[in-house]
């Protein structure tokens, strides 16, 4: 009972904050996010150790002042991202999306989404990926996304309703493989966050200059179904609720002159390389408080026991 009460109380607070954000003008919310970002970016602040460790690993030559500026810019982005998600159901519609979104390589994206083949879209914790998924559904292209269930049940149902408003369907990552295989066999579209840590047994690949563990399933979904893999992102362009979204690169197992689809390792390295290039022009829009890079386990040779040989 205590757990249920705590969950409903947290849900009520979240809904109250969302209601407040939804009535705020964009410029007011932007200013408030900048102010709050300054507070969150103080040394010793929330997840500051994770931020410092990640930035030091990827940008070892950055000065303390540069890291501090980047931390403020990142928190401003994350807070503004929450506001944009809250605004989306009320302020983002079929009639006004051209004033909110610029689509990159729209012909390439539409050709794959309208084809009779399955499609695997990969993105990362960059820009406003929630708005990206919302917009794809808004335009009439339903997708399936793998996600872990939130511990707070009322909040999880609320997030599911938001994502599913225009056809972005969520499946639990536990035991989802048969459902995903069936979805791809029916020429469905699968959308995945590709920068999740996969543990010691993952496929290790270079991501922005440092090795990171990646889930092998992402490449396998594409290779086993013959689905083209599209690297996509939705990044903010200068002001709130104004984005560039679309397809930044494509790897097709059925048309692979460069060999990028020649096995799980090659495809995993390919999409990590492409994601790094997408993130580079706007690094402050990446989740540097996300534990993407963790130490690679040391492979120890098994000990051999001497065998006595009878004379």
Using alpha carbons, select from 8, 1, 308 the residue that is nearest to residue 157.
Answer: 8
Q: What is the CA radius of gyration of the chain?
A: 21
The burial class, CB within 10 Å (0-12 / 13-18 / 19+), for 136 is buried
> Are residues 251 and 108 in contact, defined by beta-carbon separation less than 8 angstroms?
no
For the segment 220-272, what is each residue's pLDDT rounded down to a tens digit? 999 999 999 999 999 999 889 999 988 999 999 999 999 999 999 999 999 99
CA angle, residues 62, 67, 70, in degrees to nearest 5: 120
Least confident range from 3-17, 51-65, 221-235, 254-268: namely 3-17
Distance in angstroms (rounded) separating the CA atoms of residues 288 and 4? 32
What is the pLDDT, as a whole number, of residue 120? 94
Average pLDDT (204-211) is: 95
Q: Where are the alpha helices (DSSP H) in the chain?
A: 2-22, 26-40, 48-58, 64-91, 106-113, 129-138, 153-164, 177-185, 216-225, 264-279
Q: Is residue 209 classed as helix, strand or coil in its secondary structure?
A: coil
- List, in sequence order, every residue forming a beta bridge with 266; answer none if it has no partner: none
For the segment 132-188, what is each residue's pLDDT rounded down to a tens digit? 888 888 888 888 888 777 788 888 888 877 777 766 778 877 777 888 888 899 999
Every domain of the chain and the residues it spans: 2-285
pTM above 0.85, yes or no: yes
Is residue 199 predicted with pLDDT exceeding 50? yes
Average pLDDT (185-202) is: 91
Least confident range from 70-74, 176-180, 300-304: namely 300-304
Is residue 71 predicted with pLDDT exceeding 90? yes
CB atoms within 10 A of CB 67: 19
Percent over 90 (pLDDT), the chain: 56
Average pLDDT (57-82) is: 95
Is residue 28 predicted with pLDDT exceeding 90? yes
| DSSP tag of 72 | H
Q: What is the band of 50 on the pLDDT scale with cuts at 50, 70, 90?
A: very high
For the segment 230-242, what is each residue's pLDDT rounded down to a tens digit? 999 999 998 899 9
What is the pLDDT, as a whole number, of residue 62? 93
């Amino acid at each position: 009972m205590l757990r249920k009460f705590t969950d409903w109380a947290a849900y009520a607070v979240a809904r109250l904050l969302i209601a407040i954000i939804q009535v705020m003008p964009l410029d007011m919310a932007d200013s408030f996010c900048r102010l709050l970002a300054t507070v969150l970016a103080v040394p010793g602040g929330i997840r500051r150790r994770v931020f410092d460790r990640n930035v030091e690993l990827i940008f070892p030559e950055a000065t303390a002042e540069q890291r501090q500026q980047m931390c403020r810019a990142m928190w401003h982005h994350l807070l503004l991202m929450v506001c944009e998600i809250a605004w989306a159901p009320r302020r983002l519609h079929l009639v006004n999306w051209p004033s909110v979104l610029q689509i990159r390589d729209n012909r390439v994206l539409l050709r794959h989404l309208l084809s009779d083949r399955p499609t695997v879209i990969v993105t990362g914790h960059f820009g406003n990926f929630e708005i990206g998924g919302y917009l794809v559904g808004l335009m009439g292209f339903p997708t399936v996304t793998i996600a872990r269930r939130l511990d707070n049940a009322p909040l999880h149902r609320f997030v599911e309703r938001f994502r599913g408003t225009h056809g972005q369907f969520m499946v639990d990552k536990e035991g989802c493989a048969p459902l995903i295989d069936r979805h791809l066999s029916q020429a469905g579209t699968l959308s995945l966050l590709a920068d999740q840590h996969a543990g010691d047994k993952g496929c290790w690949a270079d991501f922005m200059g440092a090795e990171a563990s990646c889930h092998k399933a992402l490449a396998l979904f594409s290779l086993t179904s013959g689905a083209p893999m599209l690297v996509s992102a939705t990044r903010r362009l200068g002001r709130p609720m104004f984005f560039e979204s679309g397809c930044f690169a494509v790897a097709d197992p059925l048309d692979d002159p460069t060999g990028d689809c020649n096995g799980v390792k090659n495809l995993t390295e390919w999409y990590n390389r492409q994601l790094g290039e997408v993130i580079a022009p706007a690094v402050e829009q990446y989740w540097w408080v996300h534990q993407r890079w963790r130490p690679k386990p040391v492979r120890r040779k098994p000990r051999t026991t001497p065998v006595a040989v009878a004379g």
